[in-house]
Chain A
Amino acid sequence: MRNAIIPIIFLLLFIDFEIKSQIDTTLVSKNVLYFEGAGIGGYGSINYERLIFRKANLWVNTRVGLSTYNLKDYTAKFNPDIILPFAINGLYGNNHKIEFGIGQTISNSVSANYSTWQPERVTNFHANFTIGYRFQKKTEGLMFRCNYSPIIKYHKYYRHWGGISVGYSF
């Protein structure tokens, strides 16, 4: 059940909840591209967000990102770790917003198989949460956010973590 959140978030990226029908007729930027230092992608990730719902000062968006730790594995061969953070975020506010998020980070990373001692690619799922501040105007422009974003590694070990993001909404 917990892994169902990822396809749901992914589907939501492509669904438009008739944002145009809201009372506010300002042309709202629905997309954001940004880089996050640290955060739910590990040490840093590039991310795309899509606005799926907005009513007055309440915004809901979905996020997908891409990150890595190493492009080469420990034997020095090209064999990148792949980290995919997914999340659904709720935001409240005008230009200055508070943000809450929940999601899953999928990691497909290379470590040794400790029986054969050869490189092995392993996929794992980790829960992520976000609470923080975001600056983002309704229209296109700079986006900035900083947050506390703990990770529950393998849905088992709670890790304190945080992130800072800079990007552009359009």
Chain B
Amino acid sequence: MKYTLALLNILIIVSGCQKADFDISNLNNHEISVYGHGGMGIGQTYPINSFESIFHCLSIGTDGTELDVQMTKDSVLVAFHDRSLDHSTNISGQIINKTWDEISDVTYTNPSFTNYKLISLDELLDNTQNIHDFTFTFDCKLYHSTNDLKSYYTSYVNAINKITDKYNLHNNLLIESQDTTFLALLQASNLDHKLFIYPDSFEEGLKIAKIMNLYGITISTEKISKAQIEEAHNEGLFVAIWNTRTKKKTIEAIHKLPDIIQSDKVNYLVNQLK
């Protein structure tokens, strides 16, 4: 009897590790692309957007990664999430008020006993192998402290176009933003950019994406249902969802059949879908 119970336990454990079968129907060739959220995701041992987090994410079988992008005072694109450097690095201030030389040696303060550095997109793309095997999503954070928005946006768009051309990212770059003016400028600068609106609600996102003829919508999994994703697909819009911080939320997200999941549980999502 005890051997039967032990065998049953082993079977339960093994079946829990196996990947499930999902009947996927979407615009992405009926596959859900697995992206990291800033690399390995929030709450992992690497700081999000660090070289180590992004490289590790790309080393374990993902299709790509989302990363947060900000621009320095001298128009260098940097991978960093927060508005301010105060909370998670060893210096204070905002990226937009610093030159790249001033922040090129900045390190993350977490985890405590590590030495991960803030990186520019040039450093990332220069030193990541086979970048064309992956898709990158630039989540453009438009943190600025200027009244001259036009020149800020123009510099940002130019910086994005420059890096897209330099690394020939035209076919493997998605760009998302909450700002419709910025998206319109990007669109005007290059019609081939695959642009995603990052709205507060699905309804708002659908409306903007249709009017602007965008590529898709990026939205938190909590703000979109399976039916709404189907509605977006019917309009020819791709859907990327994020905020899947637990295994349960990851499975729920898969069942909604989006085109992309930007995951904080990257290993788990890879195991489920690859």
Q: State the A residues within 8 Å of B (CB).
A: 42-43, 69-70, 74-76, 81, 83, 105, 107, 109, 111-112, 114, 117, 122, 124, 126, 151, 153, 157, 159, 161
Contacts and interface: CB of A to CB of B under 8 A. Distances in A.
Give the 8 A-B CB pairs with smallest separation, nearest first.
Answer: A107-B113, A117-B127, A74-B52, A74-B56, A76-B59, A69-B45, A74-B55, A151-B112
Contact of A74 (B59, B117, B126): B59
Binding site secondary structure of chain B: loop
A111 B90 contact: no
Nearest to A114: B117
Given A74-B46, A117-B127, A126 B112 contact: yes
Contact of A111 (B112, B115, B126, B127): B115
B116 A159 contact: no
Interface in B24-70: 45-46, 51-53, 55-56, 59-60
Contacts of A109: 113-115
B60 A76 contact: yes
A42 B127 contact: no
B113 A157 contact: no
B161 interface: no
B93 interface: no
Q: Is the interface of A mostly helix, strand, loop or mixed?
A: strand
Interface in B99-117: 109, 111-117
Given A74-B53, A75-B56, A117-B127, A111 B114 contact: yes
Nearest to A82: B113
Given A74-B56, A111-B52, A112-B51, A157 B111 contact: no
Interface of B: 45-46, 51-53, 55-56, 59-60, 90, 109, 111-117, 123, 126-127
A83 B113 contact: yes
A126 B113 contact: yes
A43 B90 CA distance: 20
11 contacts: A43-B111, A69-B114, A70-B46, A74-B46, A76-B56, A83-B113, A124-B115, A126-B113, A153-B109, A153-B113, A159-B112
Contact of A107 (B51, B52, B114): B114
Contacts of A151: 112-113
Contacts of A42: 111-113
A75 B112 contact: no
A69 B111 contact: yes
Nearest to A109: B114
A157 B88 CA distance: 12
Contact of B52 (A112, A122, A161): A112
B113 A124 contact: yes
A124 B56 CA distance: 23
A63 B117 CA distance: 31
A150 to B, nearest CB: 10
A75 B55 contact: yes
Contacts of A70: 45-46
A165 B223 CA distance: 39
A122 B52 CA distance: 14
B266 to A, nearest CB: 11
Nearest to A118: B127
B59 A75 contact: yes
A54 B200 CA distance: 62
B79 to A, nearest CB: 13
Contacts of A69: 45, 111, 113-114
Contacts of B116: 111
A105 B60 CA distance: 31
Nearest to A116: B127
B97 to A, nearest CB: 22
B41 to A, nearest CB: 14
Contacts of A161: 112
Contacts of A153: 109, 112-113
A43 to B, nearest CB: 7
A141 B70 CA distance: 54
Nearest to B46: A74
Contacts of B56: 74-76
